[in-house]
Amino acid sequence: MSSPKCRLCGSDLAQTFVDLGMSPPCESYVEADGLDRGETFYPLHVRVCSTCLLVQLPAYLAGEDIFSHYAYFSSYSDSWVAHAKRYVQSAVVRLGLDQNSFVVEVASNDGYLLQHVRNLGIRCLGIEPAANIAEVARASGIDTVSEFLGEATGTAVADKHGRADLVVANNVFAHVPDIVDFARGLRALLKDDGTLTIEIPHLLRLIEDRLYDTIYHEHYSYLSLHTTQRVLAEAGLSVVDVEELPTHGGSLRTWSMPVGLDIEPSERVAKVLEDERAAGLDTVEGHSGFAEVVSAARDDLVEFLISARREGRSVVGYGAPGKGNTLLNHAGVREDLLAYTVDRSTFKQGMYLPGTHIPIHAPEKLAETRPDYILVLPWNLREEISAQLAYTREWGAKLVVPLPKLEVF
């Protein structure tokens, strides 16, 4: 069998980063009448390119199969909406945006971010491929184009709506199989003196903090600043600044502009690149050893769940995020170890997690059953969820986060 090809440089992908076995698409929630039907599982075999060092999951599923109808609505996370508002406020000041400016967000979801742009009287446009989510955004007053972005789409949108002073791409850069065409689409949307910001989970944090549950079929690429620079350069864009963010266990927000403007990158760019070099991410060998780390994290979770069951303690979940489905399927967790999970999204309530078939209920189920432990699957929202679940202390429930390390509190 021939090796898959690198989506950046075209080289053979023969080097394994980590192999998590087989898993269903993480957002393919199962309806009750589908529990006795088969599910399709695909490999979660992540490679690192020996030539350009891009860590990537081959496109076992096409983007159209995952994102045309989507189950994730950003506005259900209060902390994420607040994060978006802070970003908009800072970008407006930093770039001097006003009522004459134009902002485009790619993968704009339900308008969670652009609502803050609109409220400032700044013209904005969303590009969101999931038709069901785009409709929700339009209903809330956010002009939204329901298309997948590539160079051709970006050019067509810019011809119709004009080119943007600011293009925003939060947690989407890793979600596209043809990342170079996507980057060229971003450039096509942008004025020649405009700014592009991208937020991506940082590969360095994924490795250091054992965040392997962020590996799933929606995430085609796992990016360092080094590889992000290389992709953007293919589209005529240069990283001029970078911020390190706590979101999603540790992310980068890059600020990029078209090449040819001769803007010297900030000291923060040099600092992050040096951190990556110090961790060995400038070599293929520096990407080794993650499989052993993953096995240890999985074992910690399984041992806790088995011990709780033997002690007669009840354990349920909070949240039904994509990352939780990677974690539970890789660990082989079923209803005997995790009785159910709850989620604020009414879209998911009444359905079952893919692969594991653990039922999803409304949050009110917690008060009805009073579990001993609540496993917080979206651990990146730990503080927000801890506040939401403060009432469970009334019956002595304890919260459990599985990563970066298993913790009961």
How confident is the model over 314-331, as a mean pLDDT?
A: 96
CA–CA distances in Å: residue 264 to residues 239, 244, 259:
9, 19, 11
CATH for the 67-287 domain, from 1.10.8.100, 3.40.50.300, 3.40.50.150, 3.40.50.460:
3.40.50.150
* Domain boundaries defined on the chain: 67-287, 301-408
> Identical fold at 67-287 and 301-408?
yes
Torsion sign (Cα): 311, 316, 322, 323: negative
Q: What is the mean pLDDT of residues 335-345?
A: 96
CA 225 from chain centre, in angstroms, equals 16
pLDDT score, position 27:
86
pLDDT digits (tens, 9 = 90+) for 77-119: 788 889 999 999 999 999 999 999 999 999 999 999 999 999 9
Read off the pLDDT band of 370 (50, 70, 90).
very high
Domain 301-408 falls in which CATH fold? Rossmann fold (3.40.50)
pLDDT at 69 over 60: no
- The pLDDT > 70 percentage for the chain reads 96
| Stretch among 33-37, 131-135, 242-246, 399-403 having the lowest mean pLDDT | 131-135
Q: Using the predicted structure, report yes or no on whether residue 24 has a pLDDT greater than 90.
A: yes
* C-alpha atoms less than 13 angstroms from C-alpha of 33 in its C-beta half-sphere: 0
Helices vs. strands in the chain: H and E counts, helices first: 13, 17
Least confident of 66-80, 288-302, 309-323: 66-80
Q: Are 377 and 321 in contact (CB under 8 A)?
A: yes
Confidence of residue 72 (pLDDT cuts 50, 70, 90): low
More confident residue, 77 or 237: 237
Amino acid sitting at position 228? T
317 pLDDT higher than 70? yes
Asked if pLDDT for residue 1 goes beyond 70, the answer is: no
Given the structure tokens 């810019």, which residue do they identify? 158
pLDDT grade for 74, boundaries at 50, 70 and 90: low
Q: Compute CA distances 191 → 70, 237, 271, 272, 332, whole Å.
A: 30, 12, 28, 27, 49
pLDDT of 144 = 96
- pLDDT of 75 higher than 80: no
pLDDT at 13 over 90: yes
Peptide bond before residue 25 is cis, with ω within 30 degrees of 0: no
